[in-house]
Structure 1
Amino acid sequence: MSTPVKNDIPSASAAALIADMAKAAAGAHPVSITTTGLGPGLPSAIPAFWDGEKQVLVSARDEIEKYRLKPKASAGTARVETLESFIDLTNRHKLDSSVIFAATAWPNPKLTAVIDYHGTDHAPDFLKHRVEYGFPLTDEFKAWVGKNGKAMEQQDFAEFLEEHAAELASPLDQERTDYEPLFKERFALPNELIELSRSLEVFVGAKVKQSTRLQSGERQIVFETEHMNGKGEPIDIPGIFMIQLPPFVDGDVVRIPARIRYRVQGGALLWFFQLYRWEYWLRTRVQNDLLKAGKDTALPTFEGTPES
C-alpha cells in the first residue's frame, strides 16, 4: 500500500496571513531618491514612501518633522538696546560666514549681524538668523534735535538753556580755530550761556530798543524797560556754543557746534539755535561704532543693508 502524499495547500489561517502580507506589499513602503545632478543645497538622497496601491510617491518630510526634538536651524531676529549687547550676542552666535551690515545715515541708523550669511566659497545660506541694534536715542539728544531751528519765546529759550546746562561744553582749541573764523562769531563758555539765560529771564516781555553787532562777533541787545537790571545795561550775546552728549543710550558722546540766532518780531525777540551738521556727527558716531563692532567680533563689516 502506497504512502499518502502530504497536502501543501495552506490552511485558511495561513491564507489570510499571506493575503495580509500581499496587501502590505501593495501599500506604502520607504524608498530613497538620489539627488545627483540636481544642484547644490540638497542632501545626497531624499527619503519618501511609495504607495503601490495608489501608485503615488508620498513625502516623508511631514511625518519625520513630527518627531523633531529641536529646530533644524536657528532663525529669527534678536533686537538689542546697546552696542555692547550687540557685540556680546553676535560673538555668542557667530559662524565663519557671519558678517555685519550698517545703515549709518539718519533717521534710521542700524547695525545688523547676519549670522548665517553666504559663505566665502559662494555657498548660499538662508540669512534667517540676525542680531540688530537700532541705536535708540537718548532723551537729551531728542530734546536738542527736537528744538533745532525752532523759534522760542524768550522765557522758553532761557528755560531750555538752564534745563540742558549739563550738555553744554567748553570749546577745544581746535574747535575755536575751525569755527570762529567760519561763523565770524565768538564761542560762549557754559557759564556764559547760563548767565545769558538768567539775564534773558529778567527781560521777559520787554521790547528791544537796539541790537548791535560788535567787532568781536558778539551782538549787544538793549531792552526798552524800566527795570533793565536796574542799570539799563546791554546784554552781550555770543554767536556759537558747543554741546557734548551721548546721542545713543549707553553710547559714547558726540560734540556738536551750535549757533545762537534771534529775530525781532513786533519789538519782542524770538530765539532759536541751529546745530551745525549734526547729522554728519551722528553718522560719524555710527561709523565709529561699526568699527568697534567689527574689531570686537572679528567679523567683516559693510555699510549698507543685507539681502531681505
Structure 2
Amino acid sequence: MIDQQYNVAETLAAILSAGKGAHTIGDTPFVVVPENYRLEELGHLLPQPTRKTGLTSLHDADSFIAYVNDHKATESRIYADADFESGRIKFVAVLNEHSPGAEADINYAAWRDHRAAFIPRQTPEWKAWLGKNRTKFSQQEFGEFLEYHLPEIVAPDGTRYPQPAKLLEFALNLEETKKVKFRSGQRLQNGAVQLEYVEEGDDATKGKLEAFESFAIGIAPFFNGSAYQIEAKLRYRITNEGGLTFWYELQRPEKALEDAARDLLEQVQNKTSVPVLFGEA
C-alpha cells in the first residue's frame, strides 16, 4: 500500500516502479498497477489546482455576464436552451470548450468542465399577478389585492388607463361598500361601469360605485430584468345575494415573457462577445 505521507514525486515514482513503467494506447497514457494497490488523488496537496474546473450558478444576467467575461477564452461557447413561446430559457457557458483548431490533423480537445449556468428567476410580482389571473375574488379580497399591489399599477401619459390613485380610491370604496347590496350595472360612455347599490331591506338607491373597464400593470418577469406593461381587463359579476365577484384577465402575458427572454439573450450576446449556440451543452 502506498503511504499517504509520500509527496507527489515519491508517490508517482512508486506507482511507476510497481507497474513496471508507463505505457500508451494511442495518445492515452496508462500504467499497470499490481493488485491490492490503491491510487490516491493528490491534487489537494498542491498549492493551487492545475486548471479551472467546476460549475457556477448565477442568479441574474449581470452576474452571469461578469463571470463569463472574467474567465472566457477564445474557445469558450454559450449554449442557450430556449423555448420563447413559454418564456423558458437557460444559459450554460462552457469556458474550456473544444476548439476546432487551425489544422484538421491536430487534436484540440478540451475537458469542458469549467462552466457557468444562469436560469432566470421569476420575480414575486410576476408570480403574484400570473398566479391570480382569472381568479375570482370577493369584493373585499379584490380591494385588498389592488391596494397591496398598487406599486405595480401604471398609467403612462396618453393612455386611457386609470391612474394608481384612482385604483386606490376604487379599492377603498370596495371595502367601504362590502355590506351593501348591489343590484345593477350600467356601462358609461368612457367605458367604465357604474354599479348601483342599496342598503339591506331598502330598495331606494343609496349610492353608485364606478368600476374601470381595464387597467395596466408594469412588472418585470425576471429578477433584475426589464419591466413590461400588460393590460388587465376588469371583470365583475353581481351574485344572487347582491354581492360582487371580481377578477381580472391579463392580456397576452406570454408575449411579455417571450420579450423578456429574447432581451436576456441579446444582453448575453452583446455583453460577452462569446458565440451563442442554441441547444444543450
Residue number in structure 2 paired with 1:76: 54
Structure 2 distance, partners of 1:264, 1:80, is 48
Once residues 117 and 64 of structure 2 are traced to their aligned partners in structure 1, the CA distance between those partners, rounded to angstroms, is: 7
C-alpha offsets along residues 103-138 of structure 1, whole Å, 9 cap, x if unaligned?
354474332222233434595544432212222222
Equivalent of 1:293 in 263, 268, 272: 268
Higher gyration radius (CA): 1
Q: 1:163 deviation in Å?
A: 0.9
1:208–1:222 Cα contact (<8 Å) kept:
yes
User: 1:277 — aligned with what?
Assistant: 252
Bigger CA drift: 161-170 or 211-220?
211-220
Instruction: Quote the Cα distance in structure 2 between the aligned partners of 1:47 and 1:140.
Output: 57
Change (3 A) 1:146 1:50: closer
* Corresponding residue of 1:29: 20
Residue deviations 1:39-72 (CA, integer Å, cap 9, x gap): xxx45xx253598xx9xxxx9x957x54673555
Q: Percent identity?
A: 29
- The one-letter amino acid of 2:127's match is K
Q: How much has 1:94 moved relative to structure 2?
A: 1.3
From 71, 94, 100, give the equivalent of 1:114.
94
1:1-308 correspondence runs (5 A)? 28-33=19-24, 35=26, 42=27, 46-49=29-32, 62=39, 66=42, 69=46, 71=49, 73-102=51-80, 103=82, 105=84, 106=86, 108-121=88-101, 125-173=110-158, 176=159, 187-225=161-199, 232-266=206-240, 267-302=242-277, 304-307=278-281
- Name the SS of the counterpart of 1:95 in structure 2: coil
Matched residue SS, 1:78:
strand
- Aligned partners of 2:195 and 2:214: how far apart in 1? 16
What TM-score does the superposition give when structure 2 sets the normalisation length?
0.76
Closer/same/farther in 2, CA of residues 203 and 298 from structure 1, 3 Å limit: same
Q: Which residue of 1 aligns with 2:5?
A: none
In structure 2, the CA distance between the partners of 1:217 and 1:71, relative to structure 1 (3 Å rule), is same
Q: Distance in 1 between matches of 2:253 and 2:33?
A: 67
Distance 1:291 1:249 in 2: 16
Q: State the number of aligned residues.
A: 253
In 2, are the aligned partners of 1:31 and 1:50 still within 8 Å (CA)?
no
Unaligned residue ranges in structure 1 (runs of 5+): 1-25, 36-41, 177-185
User: What's the secondary structure of 2:20's corresponding residue?
Assistant: strand
Q: Deviations over 1:145-190 (max 9, x none)?
A: 22111111111111111111111111354xx4xxxxxxxxx52222
Letter of the 1:86 counterpart:
F
Aligned with 1:92: secondary structure? helix
Given that 2:234 and 2:249 are in contact with CA atoms closer than 8 Å, whether structure 1 keeps it comes out as yes
What is the SS of the residue equivalent to 1:234?
A: strand
**Partner Cα separation in structure 1 for residue 188 and residue 261 of structure 2:** 39
Any idea what the Cα deviations from partners look like across 1:235-258, whole Å, max 9, x if unmatched?
A: 222212111133333332222211
Distance 1:136 1:66 in 2: 39
Backbone CA RMSD of aligned residues = 3.3
2:113 alignment partner AA: K
> RCO higher in 1 or 2 (8 Å CA, sep ≥ 6)?
2
Q: Which amino acid aligns with 1:112?
A: V
Measure the CA separation in 1 of the matches of 2:24 and 2:78.
39
Structure 2, gaps ≥5 residues long: 1-16
Give the Å deviation of 1:88.
Answer: 0.8
